[in-house]
Amino acid sequence: MKASPADQLLLLDVADIDRRLSRAEAVRRNPPQAGRVQELIAQRTALGRELAARAGVRDDLRAELKRIEADVEVVTARRARDVERLAASTSAKDAQSLEREIASLEKRRGDLEDAELEIMEKLEAADAALAEQQALMDETTSEGQRLSAEAKELVAKAVSDVETLTRDRAAMAGRIPADLLGLYERLAARGTGAALFTRGMCGACNMTLSPSDLSVLRATPADDVALCPECGAIMVRTAESGLSASGTRTLYFSPSDAPDGPVR
């Protein structure tokens, strides 16, 4: 295929836009924070289950503490009543019975108060465990919210970039002959469509051409479209390509001074 060196140079601009478009589209579809956000969602679910379990333990201890406190009140009231009855009793037999019951109630109250202290210690530990789990939940939620906000900003920028780059590409592609652009796009669909050939190396696959391939390329006119023998990409040749050789009749231009048409 024939194409002027200047038109071939335009392919580099299109290729650059295509690379930027590809990156922007990737960010739009899947921002870099997405993976971590999904991890945090799963982590928060697991933390939520543990939080609920710890809250259940705390609530059970609270209920047990209230039951014991109620029992202590009942025992205390009953003891006070028996003490009053003992003070008013005139029967030795009744007095002995009341004394035994008062002693039993005192032991019962002591056992209940010991249990009450034990439950209070467990409840303190349960409250601390619950607060610790809640802190982990809050930290996970905060990180997820921060990353989600960052992702939204990146996606919004990527959407804007895609729109701008799409317009830029259309403008640039309009300056390239249809057959050359078609070849580029067919090649780009499989990989890299075009790249700068620099110092004996294809910029698409980063492979250095063999001496025989270089010899063929040196003899290829500047307005012939050259394809990389390794990856098939269009090799755009310039003064930096390292193809100059004594006796050659082909001239190459750098991107900064490319003319509008081929020079022979």
Task: Report how far apart, in Å, the C-alpha atoms of 84 and of each of 13, 91, 103, 198, 248 are.
Answer: 104, 14, 14, 110, 127
| Residue 189 pLDDT grade (very low, low, confident, very high; cuts 50, 70, 90) | very high
User: pLDDT for 9-20, tens place per residue?
Assistant: 999 999 999 999
233 in any annotated domain: no
Tokens representing residue 104 in the block? 């039993």
Q: Are 237 and 226 in contact (CB under 8 A)?
A: yes
Residue 243: pLDDT band with limits 50, 70, 90? confident
The answer to whether residue 187 is domain-embedded is no
Residue 160 resides in a domain = no
Cα(64)–Cα(234) distance, rounded to whole angstroms? Answer: 80
Query: Could you read off the pLDDT of 117-154 as tens digits, one per residue?
Result: 999 999 999 999 999 999 999 999 999 999 999 999 99
Please report whether residue 259 resides in a domain: no
Q: Judge whether 93 lies within some domain.
A: yes
For residue range 84-121, list pLDDT tens digits in order. 988 888 888 888 998 999 999 999 999 999 999 999 99
CATH of the domain at 65: 1.10.287.1490
Residue 260 has pLDDT above 90, yes or no: no
First to last CA, the chain: 16
Q: Is residue 48 situated within a structural domain? A: yes
Which pLDDT value is given to residue 35?
Answer: 95
pLDDT exceeds cutoff 50 at 251:
no
pLDDT of residue 88: 87
The number of distinct structural domains making up the chain is 1
Structural domain span for residue 138 = 30-155
- C-alpha 264/C-alpha 238 separation (Å) is 14
CB-based burial, 214-228: b 16+ in 10 Å, e otherwise: beebbeeebbebbeb
In a domain, 78, yes or no: yes
144 inside domain = yes
If phi > 0 it is left, if psi is from -120 to 50 it is alpha, else beta; for residue 35 that is alpha
